């Protein structure tokens, strides 16, 4: 099992399933096995996912970062929402948010950033009721789009 950088928790199959779903993780394996057989390479993971038309960019980035330990920015609903609240992007689409984040984050931080922001969005900076009083980023966050900010 891998250790998810910055969290100190195991990142094994169950954690991967939690991030992208059991069905999606299983299907991603089938797509890769079908496309690459015994020679699954790390570099074409995202193109293979997107090209299949059945798995998206977020799943490709999660697999790229968790399975192959390569830089990838997985933009889910939490990453999108928090990136907008923090003023890192004004874009609504995950692909454009990913491009904006790539411009401001060092490549070496992409994996950690995605994991941390997803965790923070699930526990503290929730969509309907962000817990700003409990937030470690309170002093830095412009709270864009947060009611009663």
pTM of the predicted model over 0.85: no
> Is 76 one of the annotated active-site residues of the chain?
yes
Report pLDDT digits (tens) over 87-104: 999 999 999 999 999 999
Length of the chain: 149
What's the average model confidence in pLDDT over 104-113? 90
Helix (H, G, I), strand (E, B) or coil at 10: strand
Residue 133 is among the residues annotated as catalytic for this protein:
no
Q: Are the beta carbons of 71 and 111 closer than 8 angstroms?
A: yes
pLDDT tens digit sequence for 39-87: 555 556 567 667 777 667 887 787 777 777 778 899 999 999 999 999 9
Residue in 147, 9, 145 with CA at minimum distance from that of residue 66 = 9
Distance from the Cα of residue 65 to its chain's centroid: 9
Residue whose structure tokens are 């998810």 = 4
Residue tagged active-site, from 34, 38, 58, 112: 58
**Given 23, 34, 69, 76, the catalytic residue:** 76
What is the C-alpha to C-alpha distance for residues 1 and 9, in angstroms, rounded to an integer? Answer: 10
């Amino acid at each position: 099992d891998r250790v998810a950088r910055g969290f100190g928790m195991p990142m094994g199959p169950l954690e991967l399933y939690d991030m992208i779903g059991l069905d999606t993780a299983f299907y991603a394996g089938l797509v890769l096995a079908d496309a690459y057989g015994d020679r699954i390479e790390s570099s074409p993971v995202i193109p293979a996912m997107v090209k299949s038309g059945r798995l998206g960019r977020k799943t490709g980035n999660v697999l790229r970062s968790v399975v192959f330990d390569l830089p990838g920015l997985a933009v889910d609903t939490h990453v999108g929402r928090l990136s907008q609240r923090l003023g890192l992007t004004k874009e609504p689409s995950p692909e454009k948010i990913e491009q904006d984040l790539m411009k401001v984050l060092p490549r070496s931080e992409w994996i950690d950033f995605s994991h941390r922001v997803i965790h923070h969005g699930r526990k503290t900076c929730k969509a309907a009721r962000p817990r700003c009083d409990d937030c470690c980023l309170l002093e830095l966050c412009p709270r864009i789009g947060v009611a009663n900010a």
